[in-house]
Amino acid sequence: MAGLAAGYELDRAGYDVNLLEAQSRPGGRVFTQRDPFADGLYAEMGAEYVDAKDEYVHQLPKAFARKLSDRILYRRPVRRIAHDASGAEVWFEENGELRSLRAPHLVVTIPFSVLRHLEIAPAFSPAKMKVIRELAYGQVMKMAMQYGKRFWDEPGSIGQRVFTDTKLRRVYHMSVDQPGPRGILMSFTSGSDAADLGTRSHEDRLRAALADTARIWPEAPRHWEGAAVKYWNEDPWVRASYSFLGVGQAADFLAIAKCAEGRVHFAGEHTAMGGMDGAIASGLRAPEKIKKAGGL
């Protein structure tokens, strides 16, 4: 979201913008999954909630991407960032070859959990490198389970949103605004439970999901039809869920995270400590600095 917001704002201001995106889709941690669900059902495997503006924000990645369509270079994973007083050169893969683009300004919105594995030449200031290397990130796994019947809505059910002490932690009805009779129950698990499930095979994760759901709703196995799993910490383009200030990472971590290094600017949820809204706000902030620097 941060990269799209920054690109949108710079494009609107008349800058010649190129967005390098490792994946073949926009949105990053805003990710709607439709496969393998039946009947057109879908599940949000990343971000979901943004108060009353929910629907509006969920349309944003696509809206930004449509607007910027010819400016986004998909399947271009960045491998190296070089910078000097006059700008930056970014090295990325394109069809298996390494090539580069040079620009007078660069906005880096790659999560620090990924950026810490890239080559940066020369290294940024020691304070910035420390924050890139050490900023704390959490663990999250989402499991979207399709059932043939919405048994959680039946009379006598414990309900459609439960907080459990099982490995699934939070379990709730995801397809609440989608037509039945099938439905999707979502488990949102985090911390050590996500880490533990993360060590298991896909089949074992599904077995655990069904076994724990059956402890909550004993009729679950009769209606089970399959599930999709997204463990964000194994996604090579995030390697984490989202950032937080860990022990000893006081407020200066955030100030340093968002601080520019010469002509290299930074945006992303890790520079805002917010969700989607923080990511977007940070993406809109970066162009302001470029405009003030008077750089084209």
* Residue 79, both tokens: 């491998």
139 near ligand FAD (CB under 6 A):
no
The only residue of 6, 10, 30, 43 in contact with ligand FAD, by rule CB under 6 A: 30
Burial 157-189 (b: 16+ CB within 10 A, else e): eeeeebebebbbbebbbbbeebeeebbbbbbbb
**In the β-sheet with 78-84, what is the strand arrangement from edge to edge?**
97-103, 87-94, 78-84, 119-121
186 near ligand FAD (CB under 6 A):
no
268 near ligand FAD (CB under 6 A):
yes
For CA atoms 293, 110, 136, 124, give the dihedral sign. Answer: negative
Report the distance separating Cα 12 and Cα 187, nearest Å: 40
| Interaction pattern, residues 58-97, with ligand FAD; x per rule: CB under 6 A | -------------------xx-------------------
Report the distance separating Cα 246 and Cα 135, nearest Å: 7
Q: How far is the CB of 276 from ligand FAD (least distance, A)?
A: 4
The only residue of 17, 72, 114, 132 in contact with ligand FAD, by rule CB under 6 A: 114
Closer of 3 and 287 to ligand FAD (Cβ): 3
The only residue of 9, 33, 37, 48 in contact with ligand FAD, by rule CB under 6 A: 48
Report the distance separating Cα 62 and Cα 260, nearest Å: 28
7 near ligand FAD (CB under 6 A):
no
Report the distance separating Cα 272 and Cα 283, nearest Å: 10
183 near ligand FAD (CB under 6 A):
no
Closer of 210 and 284 to ligand FAD (Cβ): 284
The only residue of 17, 241, 249, 290 in contact with ligand FAD, by rule CB under 6 A: 241
Closer of 209 and 223 to ligand FAD (Cβ): 209
Q: How far is the CB of 100 from ligand FAD (least distance, A)?
A: 13
CB 227 within 8 A of CB 206: yes
For CA atoms 166, 113, 145, 53, give the dihedral sign. Answer: positive
Q: How far is the CB of 278 from ligand FAD (least distance, A)?
A: 6
264 near ligand FAD (CB under 6 A):
no
H/E element, 225: strand 224-231
Closer of 194 and 220 to ligand FAD (Cβ): 194
Report the distance separating Cα 108 and Cα 3, nearest Å: 8
Binding site for ligand FAD (CB under 6 A): 1-3, 20-23, 28-30, 46-50, 77-78, 109-111, 114, 140, 142, 232, 237-238, 241-242, 268-269, 275-277, 279
